[in-house]
């Protein structure tokens, strides 16, 4: 995963550690041209999409099922889940494996995986302050790293219970 870390951002973030309290690592990715991030510890694995079998009569945001080394994984189109347009699988598409509260392993299809960013509390502007209403349910807030802003996603709210 080393190649995912943008060395510059990492260094800058580290320098700030000294006076900014506890730092969390987030994985940044792209959805429909926007930068998003989720807490890194919640992601088990990043995969190139294997063949996905569609499941007829399932919810529209469910892309289908695939097998990850013998484990059956339900794959969700994160773009549709968040109400953006439907995804198209490209060379850069990745599946993030996350575990739901019930222990089910879920795959989340994203357009592209970027880097690992380190944010402390003061870098995060909470959603309640920025966004209102329904949108806020999926988001923790906005994370500001040097040179970029990320929409911080609350993984528990997008992974089906």
Site of interaction with other proteins (CB under 8 A): 50-51, 53-59, 62, 65-67, 69-74, 76, 100, 102, 104-106, 159-161
Residue (72 or 156) nearer to other proteins, CB: 72
Residue 155 DSSP one-character state? H
Q: Give the nearest distance from C-beta 24 to other proteins in angstroms.
A: 25
The length of the chain in residues reads 161
> Alpha-carbon Rg of the chain, whole angstroms?
16
Q: CB 49 → other proteins: shortest distance, Å?
A: 11
Residue 138 near residue 154 (C-beta atoms within 8 A): yes
Cβ nearer to other proteins, comparing 67 with 122: 67
Nearer to other proteins by Cβ, of 16 and 50: the residue is: 50
41: left (phi over 0), alpha (psi -120 to 50) or beta: alpha
């Amino acid at each position: 995963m080393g190649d995912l870390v943008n060395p510059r951002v990492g260094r800058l973030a580290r320098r700030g550690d000294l006076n900014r309290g506890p730092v969390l690592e987030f994985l940044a990715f792209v959805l429909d041209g926007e930068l998003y991030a989720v807490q890194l510890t919640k992601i088990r694995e990043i995969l190139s999409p294997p063949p996905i079998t569609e499941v007829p009569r399932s919810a529209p945001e469910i892309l289908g099922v695939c097998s990850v080394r013998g484990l059956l994984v339900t794959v969700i189109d994160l773009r549709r889940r968040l109400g953006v347009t439907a995804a198209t699988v490209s060379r850069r598409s990745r599946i993030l494996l996350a575990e739901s509260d019930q222990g089910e392993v879920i795959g989340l299809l994203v357009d592209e995986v970027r880097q690992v960013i380190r944010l402390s509390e003061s870098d995060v502007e909470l959603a309640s302050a920025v966004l209102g209403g329904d949108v806020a349910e999926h988001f923790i807030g906005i994370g500001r790293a040097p040179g970029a802003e990320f929409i911080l996603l609350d993984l528990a709210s997008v992974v089906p219970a």
